[in-house]
Amino acid sequence: MSRTFDDARRWARLGTELILKAADGLDDGAFAAPSALPGWSRAHLAAHVAANAEALSNLVHWAATGEPTPMYASPEERAAGIERGRALPAAELAAWLGDSAEVLETEMAALGERQWHTPVVTAQGRTVPATEVPWLRSREVCVHAVDMANGVSFADLPPDFLAALCDDVATKRAAAPGPAVILREPGGATWELPGEGEAALVDGALPDLAAYLTGRDAGLLAADGTPAPTLGAWL
């Protein structure tokens, strides 16, 4: 589907609500519990999302002022920030998660139309207009709200967001090595990953397809009854 700037702004606000809800009331022990991401606790995940808000605020500053401001100084600085954040007491970590999201939203709301079209550079090195920032944030908060493993699932995300997410991830995966897969939503859209070998045909509900494409285990099976092919890292 074709997503709009207004769609992305709406999804970013919704995803923020969902991840704050998933983090609400967690104490030190609950934050230390595993998230749905292998090797990461909920505290790692919360720190990552908070740091992402600050990093995207750098791009908003770039758009507002014309002053080049990278998302992160370096990959090492990015990783170190997550490690510092995940060691914070629960109340401080939750406050960082909420405050950073609020600052980003306020700064985005202050941008004018011309500023939104300023070219900025993402952490992956892509040059995009600042209008892509809300989409980058919506992916982050919506998917990681599920990864918090505290009551939010892909089925809780809007169908139009899930379809846009599948479009985005399938396009990225189609340009990278991996297994050939054809994904079908019964009565809905189809996504094709051209790759190695004969294409595996995988049918599933939209939330499960989105989970699978983003590298989460949705328990999907191919048409021959075998598990859907394992996909590599998405981002």
The ranges of the chain with pLDDT < 70 are 1
CATH 3.30.1050.20 fits 154-235, yes or no: yes
> What local confidence, expressed as pLDDT, does residue 233 receive?
86
Q: Which CATH number is correct for 5-152, 1.10.150.120, 3.30.70.100, 1.20.120.450, 2.60.120.10?
A: 1.20.120.450
> What local confidence, expressed as pLDDT, does residue 225 receive?
96
Per-position DSSP letters for the chain, written without gaps between them: ----HHHHHHHHHHHHHHHHHHHTT--HHHHHSB-SSTT-BHHHHHHHHHHHHHHHHHHHHHHHH-----S-S-HHHHHHHHHHHHTS-HHHHHHHHHHHHHHHHHHHHT--HHHHT-EEE-TTS-EEEGGGHHHHHHHHHHHHHHHT-SS--GGGS-HHHHHHHHHHHHHHHHTS--EEEEEE-TTS-EEEE--EEEEEEEE--HHHHHHHHTT-----BBTTSSBPPPP----
Q: Kindly report, residue by residue over 101-120, the tens digit of the pLDDT.
A: 999 999 999 999 999 999 99
> What local confidence, expressed as pLDDT, does residue 226 receive?
96
> What local confidence, expressed as pLDDT, does residue 212 receive?
97
Write down the pTM of the prediction. 0.95
> What local confidence, expressed as pLDDT, does residue 216 receive?
94
Every domain of the chain and the residues it spans:
5-152, 154-235
> What local confidence, expressed as pLDDT, does residue 1 receive?
60
